[in-house]
Amino acid sequence: MGFSEDNLKGFILALLSSLFIGASFIIKKKGLRRAAAASGVRAGIGGFSYLLEPLWWLGMITMIIGEIANCVAYAFAPAVLVTPLGALSIIVSAVLAQFILNEKLQQLGILGCVMCIAGSVVIVIHAPQEHPITSVQEICSMATQPAFLLYVASVIVLVFILIFHFAPQCGHSNVLVFTGICSLMGSLSVMSVKALGTALKITFEGNNQLLYPETWFFVFIVATCVITQMNYLNKALDTFNTSVVSPIYYVMFTSLTILASVIMFKDWDGQSVGDIISEICGFIVVLSGTILLHTTKDFERSSSFRGSYASISPTLSARLCSGNGEFMKHDEENPSPADVVRLQRQEMH
C-alpha cells in the first residue's frame, strides 16, 4: 500500500516523540538518583521526594512533549505504524545512558540498535492506511465491540492481580511486575489517546467533537491510565537499570498496543497477507534488537562483577549485585577499601 500524506505526518511526529521520550528516561533516572541521595528514601520503596527535584520535573516535561507528539501522531497514522517506532526511543536512551549514566553500550548493543532501525523501516514501508473516521461516536462503537470489551476486562483483571498480589511479593526483584502494569495500562491509554487525538483532529477540521460526552470519557481514561503508568514506571526506573526497563517495557507495551489496535481499529483489514507478514517480521526484528540490547547490558554487568569481585569475596559479589542487577548502594559506587578488607578478614576467620 502507498505511503500516504497522513502516514508521513504520523511518521515524523513519531520520530520526534521517540527523541523526547528517550531523553526523558535518562533525565528522570538522574532526578530519581538525586532525590534518593538527598532524602534517603527511594521511589521504588514508596518515596515521593522526587516531586521536589527540578531535574525529575525536566524529565517529566520532556516526556510530556514527547507524548503530545505521539498523541498527534496517532491521529494521523495507525497504531501498527506509530507504536513500533518507539524502539527509536530505546536507542536514544541507550546512547545517552552511556554518556550520562555510565551504562556502556557494547558492540552487540550497537547491533541491537541497528536491528531496531531496520525493523522500523520495514514496518514503515508496509504500514496500513488509516481507516477514515468521521465522529467520536464511531470510535465509541469500536470500543464497545465484544472482542475489545473482552480485551479490556482481561487487562483490568491482570493489572489488579499484579498490583495487589505480585507487586508486594516480588515487585522489587522481578522487572516484569512493574513494567507489566505499565504496559497493560499503556495499551488502553494508547487506544484512548488515539480516540481523543482523532476527535480533536475532526474538531479542527470544523466538526466540533468536544460537545459529545464520549470525548470527555476518553479524556478521563487517558488521565487514569497515564497516572497509573507514571507511578509504576517511576518504581521500575528507580528499582532496575534503565537499560533493562526500557527494552522490556517497549516489547511488552508495543505487543499489547498492536494487539489492542488490531482488535479495536481493525488495522489489518484490507491489507494483503504479504504486507501483514512483512509487518510482523519487521516487528520481530525490532523485538530481537531490544532483547539483544538487554542481554548485552546484563552480560556486561555479570562479567564486570565476576572479573572485579569474585576473586575477592563471593559474599561481596552477592551483596553488590541484587536481584535487579543494580548496585545496592545508593549511587551505584564501588565498595570502599574498608569494606573489602573487613570482608576478607571475615572469610579468613
CA distance 195 to 71: 9
Res 6: pLDDT: 81
Q: Is the pLDDT of residue 344 over 60?
A: no
Q: How confident is the prediction for the chain on average, in pLDDT?
A: 78
Average pLDDT over residues 248-267: 86
Radius of gyration (Cα) for the chain, nearest Å? 22
Q: pLDDT by residue (tens digit) across 66-110? A: 978 888 888 888 888 888 887 788 788 878 887 887 777 777 878
Residue ranges covered by each domain of the chain:
1-129+273-298, 131-266
Q: pLDDT by residue (tens digit) across 292-314? A: 876 765 555 555 444 443 333 33
pLDDT more than 70, % of the chain: 79
The count of other CB atoms within 10 Å of the CB of residue 25 is 27
Q: What is the grid cell recorded at 258?
A: 498492536
Res 41: pLDDT: 63
Res 326: pLDDT: 41
CA distances to 104, 194, 197, 228 from 69, rounded to whole Å, are 29, 12, 10, 20
CA distance 171 to 166: 6
Q: pLDDT by residue (tens digit) across 204-217? A: 888 899 889 999 99
Q: Is the pLDDT of residue 125 over 70?
A: yes
User: Which residues, 6+ apart, have CB-to-CB distance to 50 below 8 Å?
Assistant: 31, 32, 35, 36, 43, 56, 234
Q: Is the pLDDT of residue 336 over 50?
A: no
- 49-174-82 Cα angle (round to 5): 80
Question: How many residues are given for the chain?
Answer: 349
Q: Is the pLDDT of residue 261 over 50?
A: yes
Q: Is the pLDDT of residue 127 over 50?
A: yes
Helix axes 54-76, 175-204, angle to 10 degrees: 50
187 falls in which pLDDT band (50, 70, 90)? very high
Give the DSSP H or E segment for 200: helix 175-204
Three-state secondary structure readout of 75-122: HHCCHHHHHHHHHHHHHHHHHHHHHHCCCCCCHHHHHHHHHHHHHHHH
Higher pLDDT, 193 or 348: 193
Average pLDDT over residues 38-45: 64
Average pLDDT over residues 142-166: 94
The count of other CB atoms within 10 Å of the CB of residue 37 is 12
CA-CA-CA-CA torsion sign (328, 331, 337, 342): negative
162 falls in which pLDDT band (50, 70, 90)? very high
Res 309: pLDDT: 38
Q: Is the pLDDT of residue 185 over 70?
A: yes
315 falls in which pLDDT band (50, 70, 90)? very low
Q: What is the grid cell recorded at 201?
A: 483532529
Q: Is the pLDDT of residue 342 over 50?
A: no
Res 98: pLDDT: 79
